[in-house]
Each structure stands twice: as C-alpha cells, then as structure tokens.
A and B are shown apart, each in its own frame.
Chain A
Amino acid sequence: MNWIDTILQGVLLGGLYALFAAGLSLVFGIMRLVNLAHGDLIILAAYLILVIVSALGLNPFLAALVAMPVMFALGWLLQRVVLNRVLGNDILPPLLVTFGLSIVIQNALLQGFSADSQRIGAGALETASVDFGPVTLGVMPMLTFASAILVIVGLNQLFYRTAMGRAFRATSDDPVTASLMGIKPASVFAQATGIAMIVVTIAALYLGMRANFDPTIGPARLIYAFEAVIIGGLGSLWGTLAGGVIIGVAQTLGAAVNPEWQILAGHVAFLLVLLVRPRGLFPRAYD
C-alpha cells in the first residue's frame, strides 16, 4: 500500500469538504446560525448548474458563474424573510426552521427531478491526471483543492480588507455594539448568507462534476461540512480547511484499511479532536 498516495488523496478530498464547509463556516461564524439546510442548498445549486448546462449548452464553469447571482439572491432573501426572524440566544428556532427547509428543498427537488442520480459532465477533465513520480493525482481533485484555497483566501480578503468584512467581524463579536455604530445586523446577515450561497455554488460545481448526486444526499454532505467547521474552530476559515483535510485524510486512511470503515474513520477523527479541544483547533471568536 502506498501511504503517501493515500494521504495525498485524503488531503485533496479534504479540499472538497472544505468547500462544502466554507459557506457554513461564514454563516456560523457571523451569526451562530446552525443551518441544517446547507447540504440541501448545495444539492439545489448543483441542479441549478445542471439545468443551465443543459438549457444553454454552457461549459459547467460558465454555468456556475451564471448560477452565482441567482444563489446570492436566494440566500439574501432567505435570510431577510425567514432566518433573521429566528436568530437569538435560543438555538432551537433556527435549528428547526432550517430543518424544515431541508425537508422542503429535498422533496421539491425529488418532485422536480425525480430520484434518478445526475452528473454534471466535464468531458476529458473528469479522468485527466498528472504523474508526480511515485504518485498520480487527478486533475479534478487538484482543481477542487486549489479552488478551496482560493475561496478561503478570497473570503479572508473580504473579511480583513473591506468595510463589509469589518461589519461582518463587528457583528460577529457583538451585534448590539455594532448596531450602535450604524451597522444594521439584519442586512449584514443577509449579505453574509448571500456570499455563503456563492461559495455553495462553487461547492456544488465540484460535487456535481466529481460524482453522481441525487436529491437525498444533502444531509450526508452537511455532516462532513459541520465536522470540518467545528474541528477548525468558530470563525476560522483556514481552520475549516484544516478540518476538511483531517476528515478527508481520516476517511481515505480508514478506507485503505477496510472499505467499510471510510465514513466511520472520519467521524471518529472528529470525535477525537473534540475530546481534546472542545472548541476546535483554531477558534477565533469566543461565545
């Protein structure tokens, strides 16, 4: 068995999980909102890209660009109309509302697209690979990982270099004081969810190109995303990437020992990290 190869594949898989998790990390970090519909929103975006690809005959990457503003608007509206009403000290209302939303999205997709599994065709890119001496890496996984890093660099720039990012951080730390300074938390939250939906669209693009998907697989993706966010620590985007990589490596190592242990190994790694560090590895904000 080639351990280096296994670990590298795991790291690259972690890139995909980090993409799933980055949007969640943003929303969770700013408004402590546990969005149980996040996984289903990724699947929704994947169907949106699929529809654009087949209707307009576009390349998947261009189709994702078209889908982004649509998803941004959806996220903005969702936050403004529904989620802002349930934010507060009690975590139960947002949990239940997003849970209801998850069921609605899943079944709406089942109604619209049936339970058949789908895939976003990416042509030769799907199977292309590059030799690096002893290991061979797929182009698609490498592209996924690079995109995850780009997304995180981009979000960090937004967070630490722009007025919007300052408003995000201020609201995250203390919404009441932030609103004394002329920031409207409700509209900051809506922008943040909109941006999270752009990240969701990128995650959906790679999810759809790398493997088959159907309307019911959202919750499984959600649990990996949450694990990555929690391992990384609240409000730390690089931590989220680290979390994704830990889950990815644990899964490929587990699968190398026994294929039935893949998912289990990822969960066990998550529990072990939390046992040692209950607030994750690199928490930025304090609750």
Chain B
Amino acid sequence: MAGDYRVHARTRAATVAGIVAVVLVIVGYALPAFAGRGLIQDLFFILTMLVLAQFWNLLAGYGGLVSVGQQAFVGLGAYGLFGAAILWGWDPVAALILSGVAALLVAIPTAFFAFRLAGAYFAIGTWVVAEVVRLSVAQWKAVGGGTGTSLPRDAVDGMRGLETVKTLFGASNAAARDILAYWLALTLAIATIGGIYALLRSKRGLALAAVRDNIEAARAVGVDAVRMKWIVFLTAAFGTGIAGGLIYLQKGRVSPDAAFAVTDWTAYVIFIVVIGGIGTIEGPIIGVLVFFALQSLFADYGTWYLMALGMIGIIVMLFAPRGLWGLFSDKTGVQLFPIRRRLTGGKIREE
C-alpha cells in the first residue's frame, strides 16, 4: 500500500529542540530586564559571531565556496551604515538595510569575477578582492580615510527605539544602546538560522546538497549549479553585510583596518565553524560557544592563547574533520536541525 509510506525529516530530538528554541528565544528577548550590561555585551558578541559563522558555513559547508574574503562584506556593511548616517543623516537602525545592500552591490561584480576561479584560486581571489575594497575605502576621505571615524553624536542618541528602551528599563544612553543592539542581533541570528534552515529544507536546499556532494551528478539530474552558487554567495554577502553594520553600530567607531580585518571576521569565523562542525547548522552554534569560552578564559594570555587556538584548529581538522558536533552526532545520531529525508511506514520499521 503506497499510502502507508511517508517521507519526512522531523526527528524526536528536533521536536524537543524546537520547543527548547522557542523558550530560549522568549528568555532571550526578556533578558535585558534581568541581566547586567556585561552579559548583554557578551551575548551581542556571541550572536553576531554566530551570524557570521552561519553565513560562512552556508558558503563553504553547503555551497562549496571557500571564501577568505568575507571581511569585505563586514567592512562594507559597517561603512554603508556609517556613510548613510554621516552623509545623509539616516537613522543608524534603518541604515542597517543599506549595510546589506552595500555588501550586495559589491558581491555581484565579485561573484562575476570569482566564479571564474576554481578551488584554491577562488579562496585567494576573494581575499585579494577584500584587500582591494579595504584599500579603496581607506581612500574615502568623507568617512575618515585610513584613520576611520565615529558615528555622529545626534545619530547615536536619536536612534529609533532608543527612547522606548530607556523608559522601559530606566537605562542610561549607553546601556540602552547595548540593549537595542542586542535585540537586533538576536533578531538577526533567529532570522539567519531560521532562513538557512528553511532554505536547506526546501527543494533548493536539496539541490544545494546535491551540488556540494557531486556537481556533475547534480547537473545531470537538472540542477542549475551556477544559479545555486549565485544564490548562496549573494545571500551570504547580504547577511554578512547586515551583521557588519550591526557590529559597528554597537561599537560606534569604525576604521578600515578593523572593519576589514581578515583575522577577526574570517579567521575566527572559520575556526568557529570548523571546531563546531562544518556543514551543519548545529556546528557553528557549538563552535561559537567554545570560541567564546576559550576567549573569556584565556584571552589574558595573549600569544599563548592564540597559539593554542591555532593548535586546536589543526588538531580538530586532523582528527575530527567534522568538528565537535560531528563527533557527537555520529555517536548518538542526534540531529537538532534535520534536513535528511527519511522514508518510513509500510514494511520499513519505524526508528
């Protein structure tokens, strides 16, 4: 009886995870009522790094596009926001959309160029593009050239929603700005994870996985591989740009060397994805928590800490190439964001 068979992706762990996620989101939005400013700032850092990591994971883990140039989009996002606020007097929160658009506008010609390059050439090509963007932005005198600039005082204090937050929590200007940035980061992180999960569960996601696993076979069954690469690259650029804008909205000050830093916005992000587990949604979440724990415990040790981070990256790649989540998932079979379709019912025994 054909009607007895069903194809589905849901697992029991995923249902539990879904309920936990809803609770976490509610707690997350309510948190500023109880938590101190330090915790809010830490969570802001974790959430924004998580967004960057999810987008890099989408690129490299699902799209097979190993980019070393994502800092270009972080920096463009930051400068898009600062440019709109300083030159046109835009509200910084509204200007976040421009952060994404600025990144997107540069991503289109970058993709035309970089998609002609394969493998390692693509990695180096994106890195050089990011350097070109950094050096060009450093020539833009209206936003401070090479030394950078700050958000104007009235733009910072007159930010949309700031007054509401101040009256709600009785917080000072600076604390209210942190809370607002945190809420935006939380919203962005939820939208990112939800959006990527929805993409992967859709027909497009299936096409994406097929392209990643075997491009020839995918094309043979009618998947437009180039189109998938475009979708992934532009989505990642747009999201990374918004995250970049948000990061510098909270910092309030930008400079080309910081906003286009390959270490902060690409190297650390790659470590997060690899340590957590590339090619899964859970991986970057685990990775960012491990990264944050290591940083808050050992960052005082400076060079030793960075050396240890490098060693951990090497060891994970050599002995557990699918990361911490991969190890756990292989042992237990647990998947919180399942995308694999399984056939159940009829004579096939239900798990």
Q: Do A and B bind each other?
A: yes
Does B184 sit within 8 A of A, measured CB to CB?
A: no
Are B135 and A103 neighbours in the complex by a CB distance under 8 Å?
no
* Known contacts A101-B310, A107-B306, A270-B128; is-contact A91 B317 (Cβ 8 Å): no
* Known contacts A99-B270, A104-B307, A111-B307; is-contact A287 B314 (Cβ 8 Å): no
* Known contacts A267-B135, A274-B117; is-contact A85 B303 (Cβ 8 Å): no
| Bound-complex Cα distance A152 to B113 (A) | 30
| Bound-complex Cα distance A278 to B120 (A) | 12
Does A168 sit within 8 A of B, measured CB to CB?
A: no
Which residues of A190-231 are within 8 A (CB) of B? 219, 223, 226-227, 230
Choose one: A97, A110, A219, A223; the contact of B317 (CB below 8 Å).
Answer: A97
CB-defined contacts of A103 to chain B, threshold 8 Å:
267, 306-307, 309-310, 313
Are A278 and B66 neighbours in the complex by a CB distance under 8 Å?
no
Choose one: B116, B123, B262; the contact of A274 (CB below 8 Å).
Answer: B116
| Bound-complex Cα distance A107 to B120 (A) | 25
| Bound-complex Cα distance A6 to B131 (A) | 24
- Proximity string of chain A (77-110) to chain B, C-beta cutoff 8 Å, 1 when within and 0 when not: 0000010011000011101110111111011101
| Bound-complex Cα distance A110 to B304 (A) | 10
**Contact-residue bracket for chain B:** 35 or more
Are A271 and B135 neighbours in the complex by a CB distance under 8 Å?
no
| Bound-complex Cα distance A102 to B318 (A) | 16
Majority SS at the chain B contact face: helix
* Known contacts A28-B120, A34-B123, A223-B131; is-contact A82 B60 (Cβ 8 Å): no
CB-defined contacts of A104 to chain B, threshold 8 Å:
307, 310-311, 314
CB-defined contacts of A92 to chain B, threshold 8 Å:
60, 66, 278
| Bound-complex Cα distance A223 to B119 (A) | 16
Does B129 sit within 8 A of A, measured CB to CB?
A: yes
- Proximity string of chain A (259-277) to chain B, C-beta cutoff 8 Å, 1 when within and 0 when not: 0100110011011001100
Number of A-B contacts (CB under 8 A): 110
| Bound-complex Cα distance A85 to B321 (A) | 11
Does B63 sit within 8 A of A, measured CB to CB?
A: no
A127 to nearest B CB, angstroms?
A: 30
CB-defined contacts of B128 to chain A, threshold 8 Å:
223, 227, 267, 270-271
Are A93 and B311 neighbours in the complex by a CB distance under 8 Å?
no
Q: List 19 A-B contacts (CB under 8 A).
A: A82-B318, A85-B318, A92-B278, A96-B270, A96-B314, A100-B309, A100-B311, A104-B310, A106-B306, A107-B303, A107-B304, A107-B307, A107-B310, A227-B124, A230-B121, A260-B138, A264-B136, A274-B116, A287-B119
Are A271 and B113 neighbours in the complex by a CB distance under 8 Å?
yes
Does B52 sit within 8 A of A, measured CB to CB?
A: no
Are B135 and A86 neighbours in the complex by a CB distance under 8 Å?
no
Does B139 sit within 8 A of A, measured CB to CB?
A: yes
CB-defined contacts of B118 to chain A, threshold 8 Å:
287
| Bound-complex Cα distance A270 to B127 (A) | 12
Residue of A nearest to B309 (CB): A103
Choose one: B131, B135, B310; the contact of A102 (CB below 8 Å).
Answer: B310
Are B132 and A91 neighbours in the complex by a CB distance under 8 Å?
no
Which residues of B299-349 are within 8 A (CB) of A? 303-304, 306-307, 309-314, 317-318, 321
B316 to nearest A CB, angstroms?
A: 9
Are A108 and B274 neighbours in the complex by a CB distance under 8 Å?
no
Which residues of B100-128 are within 8 A (CB) of A? 113, 116-121, 123-125, 127-128
Are B262 and A219 neighbours in the complex by a CB distance under 8 Å?
yes
- Proximity string of chain B (82-98) to chain A, C-beta cutoff 8 Å, 1 when within and 0 when not: 00000000000000000
CB-defined contacts of B267 to chain A, threshold 8 Å:
99, 103
Are B132 and A267 neighbours in the complex by a CB distance under 8 Å?
yes
| Bound-complex Cα distance A106 to B60 (A) | 26
